[in-house]
Structure 1
Amino acid sequence: MVKTIDVNFDFTEDTPYYWDNFKTGATFTDPDIWSPTLRKYQQLLYSKKLPNGEMFNLQQGDNPEYDYLYWKDFRFGSDSIINTYTHNIKLQWLISEVKNSIKDFTNFQEKYLRESYTIGGEMIFPKRRWSINQCRGTNSQIKDRFDFTLECIRRYYKNQDSPLNEVLNKDDEFFKLFNDFKGYVDFFYLNDLVTEDYNNIKFYLEFDNFNRNPLPQTVEEWHNLYNAQMEFLRARNKRINQSINK
């Protein structure tokens, strides 16, 4: 078990064949499953006292694909919460313009991946069939936006409807562990994405109650989305470092 967390550690480095696949254009080997350091870091970071008073003593299962982490009857998977949509098929019309706006996009993309796959860019969610991970990625009003996901969780604690209402309610026993939205945010070091009073999300782009397409629609929006996510990632890494490496 690791004793400290290096918030600058790049989880692609110990993910087998990740960069070999990247260079050939093949499907990536997923650090969220195959990086042993990420798995250890997630276990260490969240094995602490829950807001409800219980100890969240996470354990590693035998197979990271199926038993990544578990506690009592809960099973958890790791999920990257930073996304630039460069491989989104329906957005290639925009991505081609984005690539033209960035000098040496291949180098830019590699630097982005290495930074986004640090601990500040990762979360754990309950794992089961049609889990939060899957639903937030496939829901047309969310499209893997973590700021939108967090807004749905905020509304869950307020008993308000949201595009992820059904899946969040199915994980009711998990969310009860944190008592309220503040407890959830504090536990997972998400403070830099909410206002000080915990009443609002600091959205990456202008928010209109889930009515607009969550994906960027212009090159400027893409850059704004990228910059906002990286700002959050760096702030969260700093927060984690200050908390756990005292």
Structure 2
Amino acid sequence: MDINFDFRNDSKCGDPDTDSPKLYQTHKFLWSKMLPCGKAFDLEVVGSSYGRLLLKSDFGNLSSDRMCPHFDGKYNGKFDRWLPDSEREELKYKVRTIGGHIVFPAHKKNGFTINQARGVNRLICDRFDLTLECIRRFYQEEQSPLYDTLIRYKKFFDLFVDFNGYIDFFMLQDFIDEKQQINFSLPFDDFNRLALPLTIEEYKQYKACTIDLVNNRNKRLDVFLKIPVCRSVNIN
């Protein structure tokens, strides 16, 4: 696995989460392991009838999701000129390395999937730090902008037992501090403010924080891959 690989280069449609074989094979390799609940996460890459790749497991199908948005080309082009071209492209590239991806349940359950819900909710705007805060609160049985969506996927989150289990399984330790609070990429005020950067300075702060988090997770994943382990599930 190359932690510097840009999965956009392996996508015909331009969205690696839809059709990048390399991305899905990497997810399969990384997450095919024992779950905190004691069960095996045995993943298989499969195609769907609507042209999307999926990860099949005994606990339902999963899809890849880019964790951190870059905002470029969105919101009526509001952010398109807030950063120099080189910095904007750096952010767009970095979030498409493996450290910038995670998996969520792919099947709908009486509403939006987690991928969809965090994208359309204006208090989240697809940001992973805010999504992770919602997941942290979910494990504490506390309300959040995504609570109604997350509760529909309780069986998925039960696989990780608790928030610590979720963090450790997906190697997200850099996204929290020593007190297990979220490292937010922008000022956080209990979901009262708009999730988007409000100024150019905030966008630069978001970019720097996001790149740092993804770089650190990439390093963590790289170390994990270099440690000889005996996996108890089939990853062939």
TM-score, normalised with respect to structure 2: 0.89
Which of 5, 20, 23 is 1:9 aligned to? 5
2:122 to 112, 137, 140: 140
Tell me the equivalent position of 2:47.
Answer: 62
Q: In 2, are the aligned partners of 1:143 and 1:215 still within 8 Å (CA)?
A: yes
3-state DSSP of counterpart to 1:60: strand
The answer to whether the Cα contact below 8 Å between 2:185 and 2:210 also exists between their aligned partners in 1 is yes
**Paired residues, number:** 223
Letter in 1 for 2:44: Q
Of the candidates 67, 89, 105, which is equivalent to residue 81 of structure 1? 67
- Give the equivalent residue in structure 2 for 1:166: 148
1:51 maps to which of 31, 36, 49: 36
Partner residue in 1 for 2:232: none
Alpha-carbon shift at residue 83 of structure 1 (Å): 1.4
1:36 aligned to 1, 21, 29, which one?
21
CA contact (8 A) 1:157 1:181 kept: yes
Letter matched to residue 222 of structure 1: Y
> Contact 2:42 / 2:57 at 8 angstroms: preserved in 1?
yes
Structure 1: gaps of 5 or more residues:
17-27
Aligned counterparts of 2:59 and 2:36: Cα–Cα separation in 1: 18
TM-score when scaled to structure 1? Answer: 0.86
**1:66: Cα distance to partner?**
4.5
Q: CA deviation at 1:62?
A: 2.9
Q: Measure the CA separation in 2 of the matches of 1:125 and 1:168.
A: 11
The runs of at least 4 consecutive aligned structure 1 residues that moved more than 6 Å come to none
Q: Provide the residue aligned with 2:58 in structure 1.
A: 72
Aligned pairs for 1:231-242 (under 5 A) are 231-242=212-223
User: Aligned AA for 1:121?
Assistant: G
SS in 1 for 2:168: helix
Superposed CA offset, 1:42-63 (max 9, x none)? 0100000000111100111133
Q: Which runs of 5+ in 2 are unaligned?
A: 228-236
Separation in 2, partners of 1:224, 1:113? 15
Distance apart, 1:110 and its partner CA: 3.5
Amino acid at match of 1:39: Y
Q: Distance in 2 between matches of 1:190 and 1:229?
A: 13
1:209 aligns with 2:190: yes
Instruction: Give 1:19's aligned residue.
Output: none
Q: Secondary structure at the match of 1:224?
A: helix
Q: What is the RMSD of the two structures over their aligned residues, measured on CA atoms?
A: 1.6
- Superposition deviation, residue 206 in structure 1: 1.0
- Equivalent pair of 1:94/1:218 in contact (CA under 8 Å): no
User: In structure 2, what is the Cα distance between the partners aligned to 1:78 and 1:157?
Assistant: 22
